[in-house]
Amino acid sequence: MKYLITGGAGFIGSQLAETLLKGNKEVYIIDDLSTGRIQNIEHLKSNRKFHYTIESIFNDSVLAELIDQADIIFHLAAAVGVRLIVERPVQTIETNIRGTEHVFKHADKKKKAVFIASSSEVYGKSDKIPFKEDDDTVMGPTTKARWSYACSKAIDEFLALAYWRERKTPTIIGRFFNTVGPRQTGRYGMVIPRFVKQALTGQPITIYGTGEQSRCFASVNDVVNAMIKLAHTEQARGQVFNIGSDEEITINDLAEKIKEKTRSSSPIKHIPYDEAYESGFEDMQRRVPDLSKIKKAIGYQPSKNIDQILDAVIKYIKNTKDA
């Protein structure tokens, strides 16, 4: 089997490539390094079954050739991180929607299977907890750039499912819930690496909002293994799956836990959303997945709790200068 990963030099993409290579698979990646990093794949370059292309997925001829070579495509290339979304909404919308269009245009020609990485953001402002795959989405107003990411990922899903229904292009959609682990950076607002780096360097640990908002953090290893299993499960085609953990923690408790684990003297500081992002910024108070569908489909069960995840991230950042 041959695999193509778009966004393969990113945090999740590089972990996926590594896992596939450990299984002796042929792996191709494409990444323009806009949010991915060459350091993430440096250790893979010596593997003769690893092939990387530093290029945009909007280069049609390059993308077409890579898709032709692959049996399964993992489409992870996307604009990511709340800060990037707020500051560069045009890039967010174009990268997400046009990127998915390009992938399916070429995958459809030879009916290549496509796994689409979506997001819990598509649930929007819904307060129906836990989130189930067939729940309604509740989006904020178009006047707030923050919702452009959620809407663009929802359109990605609509497009993917349209290709499945109309043209029978094999499609699987995974909605990720706060995937974390080594190699993730805090550059675009990812909370755990940002908190850890602040704690280790003695800077204030900055919580946006009240800190009473809660999230469920999943190990990237669990997520990657689930992606691979779903991509090889015939019954998963044309389906949407939540992928993550249902272990909930408030951001305040997360900050305290990181401070304790790093033995940091950093003060914890709260910053209003308006100051951190933009005026009138809206956030979800809770983001908890219902995992019953993916458990039934592939026997999925998160293997790492929040303490194990934090220990791995802290160790990585301590040992990595540019983390």
- Give the catalytic positions in this structure: 149
CB 110: neighbour CB atoms within 10 A? Answer: 10
Identify which of 145, 135, 154 has the alpha carbon closest to the alpha carbon of residue 282.
145
Give CA–CA dist 26/3, Å, rounded: 6
Burial class (CB in 10 A: 0-12, 13-18, 19+), 299: exposed
Please, are residues 8 and 76 in contact by the beta-carbon 8 Å criterion? yes
Give whole-number Cα distances, 269 to 99, 206, 212, 248, in Å.
38, 5, 13, 22
Q: CB neighbours of 130 closer than 8 A, spacing ≥ 6?
A: 246, 288, 289, 290
Helices (H), the chain: 11-22, 60-69, 82-87, 89-107, 147-167, 191-201, 220-231, 251-262, 273-276, 292-298, 306-319
Bond from prior residue into 302 cis (ω within 30 degrees of 0)? no
Give CA–CA dist 186/65, Å, rounded: 33
- Which residues on adjacent β-strands are paired with residue 2? 26
Report residue 248 CA to chain centroid gap.
18
Please, are residues 177 and 113 in contact by the beta-carbon 8 Å criterion? no
Q: Which amino acid is at 63?
A: L
Q: In this structure, what DSSP letter does residue 42 have?
A: G
Give CA–CA dist 226/217, Å, rounded: 15
